[in-house]
Structure 1
Amino acid sequence: MSAETSGEYVAEFIDGPLEGEFERRVLVSGEPEERVARVAAIDGLESLFWYDAVERREVDGEVRVRFRFDAGDSDPVEFDQDDNE
């Protein structure tokens, strides 16, 4: 099923506190978002994280968008970068 018929795309978070996570998101006016916000609990504290689209591709008829962490606009959080490599 293509993105045009499903109305969804897969967001891939490639770095930051959500590194390695995937989620299905709804297309907006037929397109993936350029910027997304996610609320997540890190060490029991809820924080708002902003991610920017950096790459879009189609895999088996499904749109996938890779998002990079925007630390400057996100809530401060300490996470061990070495744990994520």
Structure 2
Amino acid sequence: MSTAENQDQEYIVEYVDGPLAGRTDRRILVRGKYDERLGAIEAVDGLESTFWYVAGDSREIQGLLHVKYNFDSPESDPVERTPEDE
């Protein structure tokens, strides 16, 4: 598969806010579409946490699709430790 074909099948995730703010990631388009919602597992203070993000604005930059994702706090694990975690 050529580089151009790969770019047609992938997109860039831009985490706008939440614990992953400022990070980017590459993901594969499924049937030509990006994920409306995605989960990310990260370690926070040594605890594995699941963070959910919802797709927002999208745009094309140099022929590659970029999608902004916003943090879905109510659906995600807490970012701060609680006394029961200690």
TM-score (norm 2): 0.84
| Cα offset, 1:45, TM superposition | 0.9
Asked if residue 40 in structure 1 is aligned to residue 42 in structure 2, the reply is: yes
Q: Which runs of 4+ in 1 moved over 2 A?
A: none
SS of the residue corresponding to residue 38 of structure 1 reads: strand
TM-score (norm 1): 0.85
Measured against aligned partners, the alpha-carbon deviations of 1:2-60 in whole angstroms (never above 9, x if no partner) come to: 6xx32100000010000011000010111111100000011111100000001110000
The correspondence of residues 24-39 of structure 1 with structure 2, limited to 5 A, is: 24-39=26-41
Which residue does the alignment assign to 1:52?
54
Larger radius of gyration: 2
Which residue does the alignment assign to 2:13?
11
Number of paired residues? 77
Letter in 1 for 2:44: I
| Cα offset, 1:78, TM superposition | 2.0
Which blocks of at least 5 consecutive residues in structure 1 are unaligned?
Answer: 80-85
Which residue does the alignment assign to 1:82?
none
CA distance in 1, matches of 2:59, 2:45: 33
Which residue does the alignment assign to 2:22?
20
CA distance in 2, matches of 1:19, 1:45: 19
Which blocks of at least 5 consecutive residues in structure 2 are unaligned?
Answer: 82-86
Kindly, what percent of the aligned residue pairs are identical? 47
CA RMSD after TM alignment: 1.5
